[in-house]
Amino acid sequence: LDVALSQRPHSMWPREMKLLSRLQNRNTVLTSEEAVELFGIMGDEITSENANARVLGAMLQSSPPGLLPRRLQQQLLNTQTIVNPEDLCRDVDDETIVKNVSEELLHRMRVNHVSPYISDFFSLRGHVEAVLSKYAVLVRDALHRES
């Protein structure tokens, strides 16, 4: 992972390595399919050993938003990785991050709607935590009005 993220791609590298190498450029936006492919390379599980903030940031900003499978959304929300602006694509707005994990985040908030702590719904830290917290507060208020 670190080799692919720190070196220029080589023509003999497998597709996955080339894909990771593209993430050196902060203008690179992954497609939803590429994000799912990277998740598969990670063994369909994000762990402290394979969690790279730039890779996670690119997954969170994949396009078109809202197409990440629920399992990937769960794993992204469960990681305790710090994802800050330098780990994100330059020209993608914060709304994309929210849309890419909203299905799972809404599910968690409906199931555990009595929790007063926004941090109970996800573990991501840094800039992404702030983005998701703003959204979660709005959703929580709407859920309280519904009940």
Peptide bond into 64 cis (omega under 30): yes
pLDDT value of position 115: 77
pLDDT tens digit sequence for 100-116: 999 999 999 988 877 77
Average of per-residue pLDDT across 63-77: 98
Residue among 21, 18, 78 at smallest CA distance from 54: 21
Higher-confidence position of 43 and 24:
43
Residue 101 near residue 132, CB atoms below 8 Å: yes
Strand-pairing partners, residue 63, are 31
pLDDT value of position 8: 67
Burial-class residue 103 by CB neighbours within 10 Å (0-12, 13-18, 19+): middle
What is the band of 146 on the pLDDT scale with cuts at 50, 70, 90? Answer: confident
pLDDT of 80 above 70: yes
Residue 119 DSSP code: G
Burial-class residue 78 by CB neighbours within 10 Å (0-12, 13-18, 19+): middle
What is the band of 23 on the pLDDT scale with cuts at 50, 70, 90? Answer: confident
pTM for the structure as a whole: 0.89
pLDDT value of position 53: 95
Residue 57 near residue 87, CB atoms below 8 Å: yes
Average of per-residue pLDDT across 5-17: 72
pLDDT tens digit sequence for 33-54: 999 999 999 999 999 899 999 9
How far is the C-alpha of 47 from the C-alpha of 60, rounded, in Å?
Answer: 16
pLDDT of 18 above 90: no
pLDDT value of position 100: 98
